[in-house]
Structures are given as C-alpha cells and as structure tokens.
Amino acid sequence: MQLYKNNTLKIHNSLSGEKEVFNTIHEGTIGMYVCGPTVYSNVHLGNVRTFMSFDMIYRYLLHLGYKVRYVRNITDAGHLTDDGDVENDRFVKQSRLEKLEPMEVVQKYTVDFHKVLDLFNFLPPNIEPTATGHILEQIELTQKLISEGFAYESQGSVYFDVLEYNKKGLNYGELNNRNVDELLANTRDLDGQNEKKNPQDFALWKKASPAHIMRWNSPWGEGFPGWHLECTAMSTKYLGENFDIHGGGMDLKFPHHECEIAQGKACNGASPVNYWMHTNMLTMNGQRMSKSTGNYILPIELIEGGNDFFEKAFHPNIVRFCFMQAHYRSVLDISNEAMVASEKGYNRLMDSLDVLKDLKPSNTSTIDIPIWKQNCYDAMSDDFNTPILIANLFEGIKFVNLVNDGKETLTQQDIQLLSETLNTFTFDIIGIKDEKVAANNSDKLEGVVEMLIQMRLEARANKNFTLSDQIRDQLLGLGIQLKDGKEGTTFTI
C-alpha cells in the first residue's frame, strides 16, 4: 500500500536547520545512505543508538510503501580523523596492539558489529559496501577532482583545495554554517600541513609511509584513501550523483559530511543529497560515555549484566524500547533508573497486547479508534517522533484495559483495527522483536527478593541474626547479592 500518499512526511534537514516536507527525487523510491562503523574496535552504545534510529526510519519508510535502497558502509581502511601523521591510522594502531593483520582486525570487529545489531533486531541494509572494496572508484574520483581543478598532488598525497572551491562560487562550510576564515582560525598545527596549499584542505589520498601496512597502488604512488572520499565514492556508486537521504551521528557533521558535500558538488556540479539527517549523542548517568573516565559500557555488557552501572541484565527488546523513548535528534541519557522504568513500561505494553487477544466485542464503539490510529501516523510523520508515538501506544493500551474492565466498548472491527495498529507500530516500526521476554518473571523475582529483604530486616530487628545471615547467604548462593546502605538494602543479580 502506498500509505505515503495519505501521510505527509516532514524531516528535519540539517542543511536548512528546519523541518521540511519530504519529496522524493523519483516517485515512490528513496535512496538512503548512512555512514556505517569504523571496524577497529567493538561497536559502542552510541553507535548502536545512531544505527537503531536509522533502522526505525528505514522501517517506517518501508511501511509507508516506499521502495528504499538503504546503503550503510563499512569503513575498513584509511580512517584518519585528521590529515596528520599516518601512523595515527586506527587500523594500523589496533593491528599492532592486538598483533593481528589489519584485515583480521576488520573481520573480528565486523562480525561483532553484525552480532550486536542482530541482537537488537535490526533490518540489514540493502547494500553494505566496504572502503577497501572501492579503491578503484576512489582513485577515479580523485583524478576527476584534480582534472576539474579542485584538487592537487603534493609529495605523493592528494588534497582537496578548499579555497579554490570557494573561489568558484561554492560554499565549503554550508552544512555547519561556518566560513573559511573561521575554519582557518580553528585549524590545528598537524604533521603534513607543509604538504598543503591551505590549512583547511583535506586529504583525498595519503602517501603511505614505509611502516604503513594498508596500502594500494595509485597514479601518485602507494597510499590509501582519505576517509571522506570513501563515502562519496560508495554513496554515488549505488545511489547516484543526487539522492534523497544521507544520515549519521552529529559528530560526523564536521568535517566528514561537510567534505562529502564539497566533493559531490565539485565532481558533479550539484548538491549530492537533498536531506541530511543527524542523530544526537548518548550519555550515561548524565555524563558523556568515555573509556578514559570509566563511564563506559558495551552493548553486550548491558544485555548480559554483571557490570558496575546497572543492577541486572536487560533484554535487547527493553534496551530498544528505552532508546525509542527519546527523539533521535535529542540527547538520550541512560541510567539504571531509566532502564528499570523502561522495563516496567515494556511489560505493561506486552501484557496489554496479550489482553487484547481475548477482548470481547460489542455492538457499538465508545472510543474513536480511527482518530487514535491517525495520531500514531501523525507522530511518526512529524520527523519520526517516537516519544509521541509511544505515548499514543500507551493511550491505545489504556483503551484495551478500559474495554477489558467493561468501562468502554469496541466493535469487532475496531478491536481488529486497534490490534493491527498496536502490533504494527510496536513490532514493525519501533522494531521490538515479537517474542516472549522473561521480564515478567524478573518482576516476580524482584518481588520475592524484596519480601525476603523485609523478612531479614524483621529478623535483625528481633536480634535473630542467625536467620538474617541465613537469608543473606542463601540468596548469595543463588547469585543474588544484598547490599546494606544508608537508604536501605538493595540487591544485584
């Protein structure tokens, strides 16, 4: 069904800074490119949040009836975040650290990436190209940029000429509202700057040092591609010189996406992307996640438990439900309290879906289900507003409980509409996996442990320390550790 014809979709375009009505280049089809992972380490939760947001967006576009070609790349070479010392190449550093070949590092963490995304029920992209699989295309793009006067070779490396780009009436910095003078003032003094005409110029191709392991032949000697060029080569190969949506985390807006725009315009004379979309960051306990500060957790550690931040393990469905409660452009903060609250909300939703299956119909409806259904679509069509959608879903389960309690009535047709809408948005669009989660049993276990904690407190109050210690020790033997603190007794599993 072509639902998009009856639902006007608005998308916040980072290029304009405003929500815009979404119009496709070709009727009924969408080209969408999302910057994928750099596979030199385990995928972290911030990455998962970004990719989950675009998985949700992809799901909704498909639901609306669009034919979507979703391309998400794998960066497996040449990821220099600046154009300085090539020894800072993350793949080279990690291969030395782990004493592995660079492509062993790539394979190890690509497998990890896919395993993690499978846990969270991601749909695979239509195409998942790798940077190393498109070296030829990157060399050809570099040659074209040189021939068009937008790039130059220097000491075996090739750089994009930012000032020349601006002289030709183009605007490097348009995505981030920066001008060249500002960029010059903020340029750091890096190794390799003496090769450039201007400090703002960025690498298209870097000469490999004798110690650099990953290298390819090129017209300029042995080297490797610049990070920014990789995405331009892969996106345009599979989606064309101008496509609909380009997405990624907000940390990629500058310089990565700014450079992509410049490369695309310089090569083809037109803006490569119509709608730029960026997800916001993920924090934990109100602070940015960072390995250096210790405020850091891997996705698998959140799912399996046994960490210092969360009282227990949380099923991937609950993590996904938690993430969807924040708008993709808002900062999402996760904490133990947030995860516990999400688990309770998730269980409430799942319980109501079970009740819905046995709901008794009436001859009349006292609730306007079609209007409620449209509210769900309106939320998602307003820049994929999942928090408002989830609020509407809870309004739907409120209807379920009211009808089940005999306080409202619904016809069989409206019960069917309510069921289809709740299930579609919960499983197909939010992306919750349609499977039983042992979360309800977890709640029951929590209740039993709280009862035993109360019995232990009463035993201690009665100076029955033998019983008190017995309760503590037997719980510990089951893997449940009690912690006595100023504000009472808590437990971890």
| pLDDT of res. 477 | 79
Q: What is the pLDDT of residues 444-454, one digit of tens each?
A: 677 788 888 88
User: What's the rounded Cα separation, in Å, for the pair 143 and 141?
Assistant: 5
pLDDT tens for the 493 residues of the chain, in order: 899 999 999 999 999 999 999 999 999 999 999 999 999 999 999 999 999 999 999 999 999 999 999 999 999 986 655 555 555 667 667 777 787 888 898 999 999 999 999 999 999 999 999 999 999 999 999 999 999 999 999 999 999 999 999 999 999 999 999 887 776 555 444 445 688 999 999 999 999 988 788 899 999 999 999 989 999 999 999 999 999 999 999 999 999 999 999 999 999 999 999 999 999 999 999 999 888 888 999 999 999 998 999 999 999 999 999 999 999 999 999 999 999 999 999 999 999 999 999 999 999 999 999 999 999 999 999 999 999 999 999 999 999 999 999 999 999 999 999 999 999 999 999 999 987 665 445 556 777 888 888 888 888 888 898 888 888 888 887 878 888 876 688 776 6
| pLDDT of res. 260 | 97
User: What's the rounded Cα separation, in Å, for the pair 488 and 482?
Assistant: 10
pTM of the model: 0.87
281 contact partners, CB below 8 Å, separation of at least 6: 46, 249, 250, 251, 288, 331, 332
Phi and psi dihedrals of 89, rounded to 5?
Answer: -55, 125
Token pair of 44, please? 């972290």
Token pair of 268, please? 């083809």
| pLDDT of res. 95 | 75
User: What's the rounded Cα separation, in Å, for the pair 462 and 450?
Assistant: 19
Q: Which has the closest alpha carbon to 125: 210, 207, 176, 61?
A: 61
